Amino acid sequence: MGIPGEHLNGVYSANEFLTRINLMHAYEFPKYDAPIVDFRGKNVAVIGGGNTALDSIRSALRLGAGKAFVLYRRSEAEMPARKEEVKHAQQEGIEFQVLTAPIEFLDDGKGWLAGARCQKMALGEPDASGRRRPVPIEGSEYEIPLSVAVIVIGTSANPIVQSTTPGLNTNKRNYIQADAATQRTSRKGVFAGGDIVTGSATVILAMGAGRRAAKSINDYLTSGEW
Ligand SMILES: Cc1cc2nc3c(=O)[nH]c(=O)nc-3n(C[C@H](O)[C@H](O)[C@H](O)COP(=O)(O)OP(=O)(O)OC[C@H]3O[C@@H](n4cnc5c(N)ncnc54)[C@H](O)[C@@H]3O)c2cc1C
């Protein structure tokens, strides 16, 4: 996010937070002493409005968060999460603070997260994504106490592919370009599919691409033709 305080203990990325909860068994605390801030009974917020943000905050609620917030800089209409997810999260008591962006994470003086300073937003003209751009409202800053903040503002491809793999074409967002029917890339013998081609999407799309790629790989290996 590029705001002060992102380094504080208690500020997580979504994948780190969910990995600790699930794969490292924080949900079975104290049987598993998974390294995660004990937020039971305390305030937790996610920053972002996608499905992963809602996965994170609903997980936090299940693990005993006292109050759970979604802080999203656009309005509910622009939220990328599925409508059902939003509705279910609201039904579970998660509080949505829309048109709100954290501008600083606050330190408790010992390197732990104490809260966030937020700013209200208004919607301006559409940006490159086609969604209306959030514009900060001067003088609207306020503070919210938090023990945990989970930053969930999207993922992107690792740009290293371009420099390490000559002949493999990527697009301007560093995703690999692949033929939609065969999953072939621009580099002979290399096939690609799933999120690395489409950007963050779904399991079913990745599986479909995997099946198409498997068939194409088989065709290539048996015929020798590219
Ligand atoms: C928190 C979260 C919740 C989600 N919820 C849903 C959901 O409910 N429903 C849904 O359909 N989708 C969901 N998705 C999206 C879904 O997980 C992805 O769309 C899907 O996993 C993409 O599959 P993939 O095979 O393209 O990539 P991945 O599943 O990311 O697999 C890529 C694999 O490549 C490995 N890898 C990376 N670099 C290398 C390397 N250099 N060498 C070897 N291996 C490497 C990685 O470790 C990984 O195992 C969710 C995603 C997240 C993050």
Write out pLDDT tens, residues 24-47. Answer: 999 998 899 888 888 999 999 999
Q: Work out the average pLDDT over 15-23.
A: 95
Atom of ligand 1 nearest to the CA of 194: 26
Atom of ligand 1 nearest to the CA of 196: 26
- Integer angstrom CA distances of residue 136 from 73, 102, 103: 9, 11, 10
Residue listed under structure tokens 């780190």: 16
Confidence band for 193, pLDDT divided at 50, 70 and 90: very high
* Among 12, 15, 51, residue to substitute to test ligand 1 (most atoms within 8 Å of Cβ): 51
Q: Write down the pTM of the prediction.
A: 0.85
Confidence band for 2, pLDDT divided at 50, 70 and 90: very high
Domains of the chain: 11-151 (3.50.50.60), 160-221 (no CATH)
Q: Work out the average pLDDT over 51-73.
A: 96
Encode pLDDT of 146-168 as tens digits.
Answer: 999 999 998 889 889 888 999 99
Atom of ligand 1 nearest to the CA of 193: 26
What's residue 127's pLDDT?
84
Distance of alpha carbon 171 from alpha carbon 198, whole angstroms: 10
| Weakest mean pLDDT among 33-42, 55-64, 190-199, 215-224 | 33-42
What's residue 20's pLDDT?
95
